[in-house]
Amino acid sequence: MIQEVQSQWNEMPEKDIALICSKYKISRPTARRYIQMPAEKIQGMDRPRKSKHSAGRRGNAYVNIIYKMMRDGHADDTIYFYLRHTGIKDPSTTIWFYLSCISQNNFPGRKKIHSMKMLEDCYPDDVTVIKRDEILKYILTKNPKSKRNKTVEEHINLIKEHYPAVRWTEDVFQTFHSALMEKEPSKIDDFLEKYTDSSLKGFCECIKKDIAPVKNAISLEVSSGFVEGNNNKFKLIKRIVYGRAKLVNLSKKCFLAFMPKMKGFELSKLI
């Protein structure tokens, strides 16, 4: 806009600053500053300086971009996604505030897009979006009867090629799962030897401390999983209803509801 003001001023046969102020909706001091501004300073405005006074006004970094793109005829949604592409991480409400103000003050007749229509970033039709939890669920699913994500299945080889961590995670899970389910205790030793020096070092050290019970659980047909599961449910219910009370206190709390009706009841006996 500054260059336009200077060009308009130079083309005027009779210099009238009031016409400049009226056309561009700016004050006289601003118009004079724009007219007298050298070209080097105008070009430097594309690279705003960081200072303690403007540190909190992050919109200054892309106000000129918004104005120039509006002047070139770009729509609001194009400008918004371009700013996101360049790395602007300000809240959507902040960006749309600048878009609205600059459009209203500099381009009154310009068609605008309301910010409520752009609450969520959208992707082009030829872009496939796969979330991390979907990939994790796919590579950790062992039950053949479980329904698997078709989109992940189509792209899993390409994902493994570009993200080696996915392939590594799958290999670790497959190795550990086979060591537990194939009833071969020796495989757990191979697992510990292979991954002790990896990021699973803490997990492997914990298994080594209880290696005998772990191998017994792998080799024996009888499992205490059902009993332990029900014990955990009982402990959870007890904790929810009565808090973290020991069994002696728990029994006293349970009998307390009935003991007042008994003969010779004394509350001091419960203390």
Q: Within 13 Å, how many C-alpha atoms sit on residue 170's CB side?
A: 16
Tokens of 174: 């497959």
Residue-level pLDDT at 57: 52
Q: Does the structure show a pLDDT above 60 at 119?
A: no
Tokens of 105: 């003050």
Q: Within 13 Å, how many C-alpha atoms sit on residue 187's CB side?
A: 14
Per-residue pLDDT reduced to its tens digit, 177-230: 888 887 788 888 888 888 888 888 888 888 888 888 788 777 777 666 656 667
Which residues lie closer than 8 Å to 142 by C-beta, 6 or more apart?
177
Q: Indicate if the alpha-carbon torsion angle 255, 261, 262, 268 is positive or negative.
A: positive
Tokens of 195: 């991954």
- Considering just the CA atoms, what is the radius of gyration of the chain in Å? 35
Tokens of 102: 């600059």
State the Cα torsion 63-64-68-73 to the nearest 10°: 0
Q: For all residues of the chain together, what is the average pLDDT?
A: 80
State the Cα torsion 206-212-216-219 to the nearest 10°: 90
pTM assigned to the model: 0.42
Domain boundaries, the chain: 1-49, 59-122, 132-219, 234-270
Residue 183, phi then psi, degrees to nearest 5? 60, 35
Residue-level pLDDT at 157: 92
